[in-house]
A and B are shown apart, each in its own frame.
Chain A
Amino acid sequence: MSDESTLAALRLADSALPVGTDSVSYGLEQFVAEDRVEDAEDLRALLETYLRRQLGVADLVALRVAHEGATGGEDGTEDDVDAVVAADRRLSATTLTAEFRESSTRTGERLLSLQRELRDDTVLDEYAAAVEAGDAPGNHAVVLGAVAGRDGVDADEACLVACHGFVTGLLGAAQRLLRLGHTDVQRTVDELRPVMTTAVEDSADRSLDEMEPFAPLVDVASADHERADRRLFVS
């Protein structure tokens, strides 16, 4: 990867990227409300489940397909927006909780429009047209795969950006929900490093047919969160 692409990856992984990740908690708020997550150790264990059971086996698989579609295959084939759209629709079909789909498409659409403000890109324009027409949901992982690919970030790196962004986003939410020191937050990101790299490796062996997210207690918490009385986060 070029220095330019490394900088692009760092920008996409920055928690200051204004795509609304600070408004989503993917069920974490409910886990805290139920006292299932009370400290940094509980948080690390739950984030490990998200990485192993959701990102590595679903989101990152779709991200890779979108990345390949947006950049053309290794054999130099042309870019293929239909592949990006197919990955996007498939990810929505496997995401069975309403709040997860809503959070993913909300942040995805913001990232897509932000990127299109920065520069003209025919692939992203074509994909955005499909999202606007309702033919593609605009999931965050898929948008990130396409955007990163167009910026020269390779697929593994884009997956790592997705993992890092997800973990730091949820840690940011956790800081508003729990008493959590800055060192605890940094320690958690640091300790999750091997889990993130394993999730990225797991996703490399899977096709869209083999996406199998499985975290039923997260699903139940997310469904309960839909009806929670007082909420800071949309998920």
Chain B
Amino acid sequence: MAADAPHPAFEPYAAEPVPQAPVGAPGKEGRLELAFAADEDGQTHLVRDFARVPFHLSGTLGHDPHPDAETVFVQSPSGGVAQGDRHTIDVEVKNGGVAHVTTGSSTKVLTMERNYAAADVSLSVGSGSHLDYVPEPVIVNPDARYYQELRLDVAPDATAVVGDVVVPGRLARGERFDFERYVSRLACHSDGDLLFEDATHLTPADGDPTAPGVMGEYSVYGTLFVVAPERDGDALSDAIHDRVTERTEAGESNARAAATTLPNDAGVVVRALGHRAEDVTGLLHAAWDEARSELLDVGAPDGRKL
């Protein structure tokens, strides 16, 4: 069992049996596969889809301001991610397609007593294609242990926007960093070469997340990666930085965000910190909108979920 742990810190958890539905039982191994491709007219279609509980798809939406884009809202009928859950998500965009994948609501990682929950996400963006993978925030409840791994493969002339926001508990209930462990890792490759990687590893018992320089006075943390290997990263970084700082400087947001260029000319990363989830998602949405305008000449879809 322990050999299956995705990270050394999760080996002790992996050895713990799950008392109710065990790992691998129906409903525990969620699977989602989506493939998008553009047709000869340039219109993107969902050409393959497979969803196993708790993932649910209810078709595509013509929600995107981009005329050729396709949107999928991934839904989950379950109350949240429980101990022993293993979710696998594969998304592929090819043939010049423009696809947007998001979730209908926040992902709640439930309180755990044993084992852990994990999500394994693979995103592949083929030549000339664009993917927006911008799920709603992950809320990590007390005593939860969550591991998320995201692999992004982007063709040199493709582009991608990937967002990740973590909320350290149900803040309105006074929960804050009461979970046991949260790890989110991302690695981005192009043509077999590693472009960049990022890791968020929060273990409040071992290291204070609110230490100076870590998260300080902030609770909610988000990152938006804008991967565009063939674009001018400095110009993109400055445009996005101006956009995300103008609201904070005008006193309209008490969150803060900043943009910097990624290693290996991969594009731009935006880090955002705030007191509430909507402050962080608001700034990252502005960054996404700016990135979209630069990359696709059209802004981001409306962030509000109807």
Contacts and interface: CB of A to CB of B under 8 A. Distances in A.
Contact of B213 (A53, A97, A101): A53
B240 to A, nearest CB: 10
A223 B201 contact: no
Nearest to B202: A214
A49 B207 CA distance: 10
* Among B201, B245, B258: residue with most chain A CB under 10 A: B258
Contacts of A89: 194
Contact of B263 (A37, A48, A93, A226): A93
A211 B201 CA distance: 10
B38 interface: no
B87 interface: no
* Among B211, B212, B245, B269: residue with most chain A CB under 10 A: B212
Interface in B183-235: 185, 194-202, 207, 211-216, 218, 221
Interface residue SS majority, chain B: strand
Interface string A48-63: 1110110000000000
A214 B199 contact: yes
A210 B197 CA distance: 11
A93 B195 contact: yes
Contacts of A129: none
Which range contains the number of B residues in contact with the other chain? 35 or more
A11 to B, nearest CB: 30
A220 B258 contact: yes
A134 to B, nearest CB: 11
* Among A42, A52, A217, A227: residue with most chain B CB under 10 A: A217
A186 interface: no
A215 B264 contact: no
A158 to B, nearest CB: 24
Nearest to A222: B260
A217 B273 contact: yes
B179 to A, nearest CB: 15
B264 A219 contact: no
A224 B212 contact: no
Nearest to A90: B194
A60 to B, nearest CB: 16
A220 B257 contact: yes
Contacts of A221: 213, 258
A215 B213 contact: yes
B256 interface: yes
Contacts of A37: 212
Contacts of A215: 213-214
Contact of A220 (B8, B199, B256, B261): B256
B189 to A, nearest CB: 10
A96 B214 contact: no
A49 B211 contact: yes
B228 to A, nearest CB: 15
Contacts of A212: 185, 199-201
A227 B241 contact: yes
B262 interface: yes
A53 B258 contact: no
Given A45-B212, A49-B213, A216-B273, A98 B261 contact: yes
23 contacts: A37-B212, A46-B212, A46-B213, A48-B211, A49-B213, A52-B207, A89-B194, A93-B194, A94-B198, A94-B199, A96-B198, A96-B260, A96-B269, A98-B260, A211-B199, A212-B200, A215-B214, A216-B273, A218-B214, A219-B258, A220-B271, A220-B272, A223-B259
Given A94-B198, A214-B200, A218-B213, 11 more contacts: A31-B213, A46-B212, A96-B198, A97-B260, A212-B200, A214-B199, A216-B273, A219-B260, A220-B258, A220-B273, A223-B259
Interface of A: 27, 31, 36-37, 42, 45-46, 48-50, 52-53, 89-90, 92-99, 101, 210-224, 226-227
